[in-house]
Structure 1
């Protein structure tokens, strides 16, 4: 028996030792006993000896031999992430590997993989001459479903008026083998519920033959039963569930093969960016700084085409911050690369579906992998290019469990593989911007739009607008602007980053507020179902008939949310078609995409929503964007508040003016080809907007420097001021931070733990520098408090101190040198584990939320 070191699917800091009859390769997936369960494990390698007594060592239960071993690069990635983010290796495994794989035995995995291999090369069935004879003899006229299958195979049924079954000679005359159509399995399933079994049986009898499906990628209906759906050029969720709504394939001819969309001619700035990345040799990080609509997506497409053409096995990873942006990105890549397999990875997939996509990436079958932050941990053995779109987005930082940054891991992974990584944004994160200013990243600029024009930004002083002074939600200037767009048949977009009807319900007589009984937060008023909801713990309550404290019947909503704006717009513009997209309306799967599809089709005049509607969408008819009361981001305790607000407003402004303005009665001709950088319009889009694009910002502080930079689209100036402030305050990116987050239902237990943690931290900092060890993988630099400039601050409550009856506090650690900080964190973590505290705690490295 050989001793193996195995990382198991459990939040354990150390790998465990197991026995196996032979030597297992590094990266091999196995199932091992852990307590009373069998869990998934990854072999890290053989072990010379074990701290576990030999009598207590257990054997590997089974080897998941159907899957290729995870490569050394992937194992090194996870071990680096576990070390850097101070998380158990098993926890990183849980984030990186599909839940379906973790929960199923080797036999189930082998069965599913075998099925995926059968589907990978889509096959079709074709009727043989012998089959034509047999069907004429076997089929009864009453077998309507069987006749549908036979008809789709090219066999002509008898006339409806005739009850006679055609004889063999007639059957031979009706079927021409060389011209017989190919019947795709997924099409057959819509014709008969047991089509798969029937076709296999007919093929076994010699009635049918299996042939390659030359119609692969020919239509959106040809993906229901292939691996994975997106591998055939269609985004998940776009497949027709009802056969009557799906495009039908004619039974007498195979559909034409889809052709790749021709790449458009690039502008000079786009071409320069493509040339720069293609010329890179080895590792290089590029910051693609381009205004909204400048053609960054087209740059990604052409870079991907270059990499895939260079190496027939190369893989490209493209990260996007939002699940809602994934379908349109899949569509763009599928149109450009119809012959390439695509995989999609995000948390919205069903467990088995996510495994299918993960396996396509892991096996190398999928050469293009698109996904959200969890895709950064995917197994990609032939990774040759990484793209991080909207790299500034806070969604790339995981806030629960393994708190990793997908953007930062993408950069590390590119360095590990010796490949290029492209970080794209119109408003880069200040960390990336400073790295580019210092020369660590190479800055590529695209200052102009590929088509259309940036909207002019106007600041509307809320204190000087008569409607806003009276408590209205829509000011007079904005009202007039919306009316003009409605008259011209154009679309308007209103952005308010607060869902619900009102943030709180208030009693004007006694001051009662609708507070959550379980959180230090208000219950948000939702008028659609007259409920009060906590957006943190999920608590719900009915709206009281009277004030619980004084009995007053005059309860009033305080503040505004997207529901309230939608209601106000319906009163002001009864003729308009109004839609709302936020986390409430998008709760059902596919609801958000349906809303966006209506917007693209011109079925919506005014769209109201949260930040979901401001990112990446190419609304061709939008000429007006309005931000309603965005001032809260100016005065937040969060050091990144202004940075996030500026990015949101810049992204919102970018939804307008995507197409050059022309007279509304002019039909677009060949010379009016649409923006090469974004998705093509729907067929119903017959006119281009005639209005000058515009963004209106209703604010009480129009003189603020952030808004001045917004008006001028001056991101470099805004970034310079923000970086100067952070430098003077010693805040990131001029320092490095980590948080010890702790929570417990009892405040006294939590306070005792944090007092103990603070003492342990002080003891470590008091240790002589030369006796302290650096973080794993770091060998230079001192880690002592003085040498590293480390500061451990006293415990403070979190910004939301109580959630679901659990009290939360944290301790901030700050230092000038990353090596010193990580050396301290490694020792502090070990001391805290040894203390065996009763509270739930975790170390959050490079925190973005407090």
Structure 2
């Protein structure tokens, strides 16, 4: 009897689809983990073969024949399929869309799973000195020739892409002159561009103890929480653990919260190990992502550095997972398939029976709770590496003080003293743009987004008003649309405004702004970081991009211009996030032998969060905050699921979630709270009206059991056809 193919297709339906194999297919080619082209409605789609069955779920005569088996060998192993099936069940998300998240875009579209070598620009002449002279009147071509002289075996296309000038025109000019040519590099990475292998640093006793504990767990599942103060040498621990895994013939996955952290960590790993290092994040081209994906899947690349989407990447011989800055909210996908890369990494390690290391200076309360329950083993690095002292805190009460673009006279004086010593200052401003609001001083009109319940942000650099929620933008207006007055004023602070003010206050100092706007071009962030490390920058102004993982030895002063924004909020997580942010930003000050100072501007100097954080550190804050959560029965002492619904009219999402709430209340017990539905805090976004409904329970199994029982009934509701809806398991943002 012909086997039935159980295929996951990327559609919003919570099921597998049955097909018969293509005519003439050898049974040996029907391996779970291969891609399958199938007819789906009037279209053809690419799916993943999840398994085989003897009998279909419908009559055999109704089954369609799969069009083709695309792969001779599985792209996903049985362990990979097991992880994806678990993720689909836990997050209550359609299996086809979960499987799609594990593939690159090219592979999802049926592109060949072939090793695609990266193009190299190579010199076509051995006399590069003469070639450089021949390009004297074309400075960019001459610069490329100098780069080719440094790397005579060729410069990878990805390396050229990091340059912040028009290298493409220069390369075309060299090719026309017969001085260079493109060729394909079949290696996993470009060895010619690897730095020499550097020896490991000397470890302090805390680092030695942490490494020994993880080393002893190799080959079996253990989850470790590595809590190390900022500057304690967590990266060196990661490097030496990587050496342990490589020595045993394994591969290692290191997950990072932000794209901007990969270049400097990549440099550290490449300088330490003479093996290919794969990078995987959304900033790469699709060809680059496929190359990294296939390199890890085939075992041809040993080290992976990636952001949250890399957690599902197939790895032939995975020996360990490391997740740095485990507390970071960037590890949670906030749309579509809403998974937590941290939690998936822990489950993947458990399924593979390997260790997983979660590192942070400010661990999430969920991880602290898991330590208390014996689920994670706690490792501590309580001291800064090299004996550096922790920075000192200064609370600046700015009530009644005249501020200059958000900067108090005392903070300006601190900056002046720092610059006089030849040291660097870092100012944290958690808003990009010039100002968050543009208002009319005559009538009070405010520039609002046409599609969202949000103000437009002033971007003075390119004279634009932008919505940071939906992407809408327009030219900066010159007069009020309400009364016609030209007296329009920007309210509030953004990084651009503080940068401009510091340029006026300290005209002889070089201030640079690091945020998503200033680092949009490929290679720009790396260039700015290099200037900082080389001492060509005096003042750094930045958003959260500067708070994570960066090492600035010359920075001795950190100023947080507005610590109050996180002190009063309806979000029960705001205190935790504020404490984490303050601690992380403060950690940039006083590395190595220089003493650091952290200045917090506040109008609430008596706030208990600030006093606990300064007096007892983050661990003291975490203990106090955990007790508050326990008393209020909030996560991590309860479990949540947030139902979201949206539509073009306001009634449809409300009616849909009311039906969901009614169905839940018909079968629920006292152990499940059903709260809502209520309008989302931003009720209109991108032209859609939004509502939400919260389920909460102290029993995880009860919460998931109720959702699983409700889903078939919800899918049949007429109201479900009029809205877009989703479930967010373990939401990190209710507001």
Shift of 1:239: 11
Tell me, yes or no, if structure 1 residue 341 matches structure 2 residue 276.
yes
Following the alignment from structure 1 to structure 2, what is the Cα–Cα distance between the partners of residues 540 and 69?
A: 42
Shift of 1:559: 1.2
Among residues 772, 783, 805, which one is paired with 2:687 in the alignment? 805
Following the alignment from structure 2 to structure 1, what is the Cα–Cα distance between the partners of residues 733 and 350?
A: 27
Gap runs ≥5 in structure 1 = 125-144, 161-189, 192-217, 662-691, 766-784
Shift of 1:593: 2.5
Following the alignment from structure 1 to structure 2, what is the Cα–Cα distance between the partners of residues 798 and 583?
A: 26
Among residues 93, 100, 109, which one is paired with 2:99 in the alignment? 93
Q: Could you list the per-position Cα deviations for residues 357-413 of structure 1 after superposition, in whole angstroms to 9, with x for gaps in the alignment?
A: 101111111111110001111111311101010000000000011000000011111
Shift of 1:813: 0.2
Q: Could you list the per-position Cα deviations for residues 711-734 of structure 1 after superposition, in whole angstroms to 9, with x for gaps in the alignment?
A: 236112101111111111110001
Match of 1:58, SS?
Answer: coil
Distance 1:621-1:516 versus aligned 2 partners, 3 A rule: same
Shift of 1:236: 7.6
Following the alignment from structure 1 to structure 2, what is the Cα–Cα distance between the partners of residues 223 and 453?
A: 44
Tell me if the contact between 2:164 and 2:521 (Cα under 8 Å) persists in the aligned partners: no
Structure 2 match to 1:432: 367
Following the alignment from structure 1 to structure 2, what is the Cα–Cα distance between the partners of residues 222 and 381?
A: 29
Tell me, yes or no, if structure 1 residue 39 matches structure 2 residue 45.
yes
Distance 1:803-1:371 versus aligned 2 partners, 3 A rule: same
Following the alignment from structure 2 to structure 1, what is the Cα–Cα distance between the partners of residues 466 and 164?
A: 34
Structure 1 match to 2:477: 544
Structure 2 match to 1:298: 236
Match of 1:379, SS?
Answer: coil
Distance 1:810-1:696 versus aligned 2 partners, 3 A rule: same
Tell me if the contact between 1:473 and 1:568 (Cα under 8 Å) persists in the aligned partners: no
Structure 2 match to 1:750: 653
Following the alignment from structure 1 to structure 2, what is the Cα–Cα distance between the partners of residues 28 and 63?
A: 7
Structure 2 match to 1:768: none
Tell me, yes or no, if structure 1 residue 83 matches structure 2 residue 103.
no
Shift of 1:433: 0.9
Structure 2 match to 1:776: none
Tell me, yes or no, if structure 1 residue 461 matches structure 2 residue 397.
yes
Distance 1:568-1:806 versus aligned 2 partners, 3 A rule: same
Comparing 433-442 with 376-385, greater Cα deviation is found at 433-442
Tell me if the contact between 2:35 and 2:71 (Cα under 8 Å) persists in the aligned partners: yes
Q: Could you list the per-position Cα deviations for residues 253-290 of structure 1 after superposition, in whole angstroms to 9, with x for gaps in the alignment?
A: x9899542101110000000000111125111111111
Distance 1:546-1:89 versus aligned 2 partners, 3 A rule: same
Tell me if the contact between 1:430 and 1:719 (Cα under 8 Å) persists in the aligned partners: yes
TM-score calculated relative to the size of structure 1: 0.77
Shift of 1:63: 2.2
Structure 2 match to 1:668: none
Tell me if the contact between 2:256 and 2:306 (Cα under 8 Å) persists in the aligned partners: yes
Tell me if the contact between 1:801 and 1:807 (Cα under 8 Å) persists in the aligned partners: yes
Following the alignment from structure 2 to structure 1, what is the Cα–Cα distance between the partners of residues 104 and 5?
A: 23
Structure 1 match to 2:13: 12
Tell me if the contact between 1:737 and 1:813 (Cα under 8 Å) persists in the aligned partners: yes
Following the alignment from structure 1 to structure 2, what is the Cα–Cα distance between the partners of residues 630 and 720?
A: 21
Among residues 402, 410, 432, which one is paired with 2:337 in the alignment? 402
Comparing 26-35 with 731-740, greater Cα deviation is found at 26-35
Q: Map residues 158-557 of structure 1 onto 2, 5 A cutoff.
A: 224-225=155-156, 237=162, 241=167, 259-280=196-217, 282-310=220-248, 312=249, 314-338=250-274, 340-451=275-386, 452-463=388-399, 466-468=401-403, 472-557=405-490
Among residues 494, 499, 518, which one is paired with 1:561 in the alignment? 494
Larger radius of gyration: 1
Following the alignment from structure 2 to structure 1, what is the Cα–Cα distance between the partners of residues 622 and 334?
A: 25
Following the alignment from structure 2 to structure 1, what is the Cα–Cα distance between the partners of residues 664 and 193?
A: 68
Following the alignment from structure 1 to structure 2, what is the Cα–Cα distance between the partners of residues 255 and 394?
A: 37
Tell me if the contact between 1:8 and 1:39 (Cα under 8 Å) persists in the aligned partners: yes
Following the alignment from structure 1 to structure 2, what is the Cα–Cα distance between the partners of residues 220 and 757?
A: 62
Match of 1:479, SS?
Answer: helix
Structure 1 match to 2:544: 611
Distance 1:222-1:647 versus aligned 2 partners, 3 A rule: farther
Following the alignment from structure 1 to structure 2, what is the Cα–Cα distance between the partners of residues 255 and 565?
A: 42
Distance 1:453-1:733 versus aligned 2 partners, 3 A rule: same
Following the alignment from structure 2 to structure 1, what is the Cα–Cα distance between the partners of residues 153 and 241?
A: 28
Distance 1:473-1:266 versus aligned 2 partners, 3 A rule: same
Tell me, yes or no, if structure 1 residue 595 matches structure 2 residue 531.
no
Following the alignment from structure 1 to structure 2, what is the Cα–Cα distance between the partners of residues 86 and 727?
A: 27
Structure 1 match to 2:78: 72
Shift of 1:53: 3.9
Gap runs ≥5 in structure 2 = 135-143, 181-190
Would you say how many aligned residue pairs link Structure 1 and Structure 2? 694
Tell me if the contact between 2:194 and 2:270 (Cα under 8 Å) persists in the aligned partners: no
Shift of 1:66: 5.5
Match of 1:794, SS?
Answer: strand
Match of 2:716, SS?
Answer: helix
Shift of 1:222: 5.1
Tell me if the contact between 1:221 and 1:239 (Cα under 8 Å) persists in the aligned partners: no
Tell me, yes or no, if structure 1 residue 839 matches structure 2 residue 703.
no
Tell me if the contact between 1:29 and 1:65 (Cα under 8 Å) persists in the aligned partners: yes
Match of 1:304, SS?
Answer: helix
Tell me, yes or no, if structure 1 residue 643 matches structure 2 residue 562.
no
Comparing 549-558 with 565-574, greater Cα deviation is found at 549-558
Structure 1 match to 2:140: none
Tell me if the contact between 1:458 and 1:711 (Cα under 8 Å) persists in the aligned partners: no
Following the alignment from structure 2 to structure 1, what is the Cα–Cα distance between the partners of residues 194 and 463?
A: 52
Shift of 1:563: 1.1
Following the alignment from structure 1 to structure 2, what is the Cα–Cα distance between the partners of residues 221 and 829?
A: 60
Following the alignment from structure 2 to structure 1, what is the Cα–Cα distance between the partners of residues 160 and 322?
A: 19
Distance 1:527-1:419 versus aligned 2 partners, 3 A rule: same
Distance 1:222-1:601 versus aligned 2 partners, 3 A rule: farther
Q: Could you list the per-position Cα deviations for residues 165-209 of structure 1 after superposition, in whole angstroms to 9, with x for gaps in the alignment?
A: xxxxxxxxxxxxxxxxxxxxxxxxx99xxxxxxxxxxxxxxxxxx
Distance 1:220-1:582 versus aligned 2 partners, 3 A rule: farther
Tell me if the contact between 1:85 and 1:845 (Cα under 8 Å) persists in the aligned partners: yes
TM-score calculated relative to the size of structure 2: 0.89
Tell me if the contact between 2:14 and 2:95 (Cα under 8 Å) persists in the aligned partners: yes
Following the alignment from structure 1 to structure 2, what is the Cα–Cα distance between the partners of residues 285 and 610?
A: 31
Match of 2:284, SS?
Answer: coil
Following the alignment from structure 1 to structure 2, what is the Cα–Cα distance between the partners of residues 403 and 33?
A: 28
Following the alignment from structure 2 to structure 1, what is the Cα–Cα distance between the partners of residues 437 and 196?
A: 54
Match of 1:463, SS?
Answer: coil
Comparing 278-287 with 550-559, greater Cα deviation is found at 550-559
Tell me, yes or no, if structure 1 residue 573 matches structure 2 residue 506.
yes
Shift of 1:595: 2.1
Tell me, yes or no, if structure 1 residue 738 matches structure 2 residue 675.
no
Shift of 1:149: 3.9
Tell me if the contact between 1:790 and 1:813 (Cα under 8 Å) persists in the aligned partners: yes
Match of 1:411, SS?
Answer: helix
Structure 2 match to 1:634: 567
Following the alignment from structure 2 to structure 1, what is the Cα–Cα distance between the partners of residues 49 and 381?
A: 46
Following the alignment from structure 1 to structure 2, what is the Cα–Cα distance between the partners of residues 835 and 221?
A: 65
Tell me if the contact between 2:31 and 2:73 (Cα under 8 Å) persists in the aligned partners: no
Shift of 1:219: 6.9
Q: Could you list the per-position Cα deviations for residues 488-547 of structure 1 after superposition, in whole angstroms to 9, with x for gaps in the alignment?
A: 222111001011111111223322212222211111112223322111112223333332
Root mean square deviation of aligned Cα? 2.9
Shift of 1:483: 1.2
